[in-house]
Amino acid sequence: MSKGAIVINDSEFETEVLKAEEPVLVYFWATWCGPCQLMSALVNATAKEYSDRLKVIKMEVDPNPVTVKQYKVEGVPAFRLIHKNKLLGATEGAIGKEKLLNFINTHLEQN
């Protein structure tokens, strides 16, 4: 299990996310997005903190239009929580640590 967030692209999405045994938090971001720069450290910290029960993936939106369209990402930063090919939850916009952890915990407890 990885200790940090894993950077992937459209071609790796099925293997890394849809076929993953554990739930996957996908973080959509862009290089030109100011709030995304602020969220990056939180995403990496979350990946380390939850490494025993959650896989964290980072996807840059511009080079990955297929996944962005499939998961209806309209703004960045955005998060999608996916488990066994099922979308468990979605949120868009910059959020603080407490809100992100609540988002993750709520959906992990339901599965």
Active site residues: 33, 36
Contacts 24+ apart (CB under 8 A), 70-76: 71/26, 71/28, 73/28, 76/28, 76/29, 76/30, 76/33, 76/35, 76/36
- Three-state DSSP class for residue 80: strand
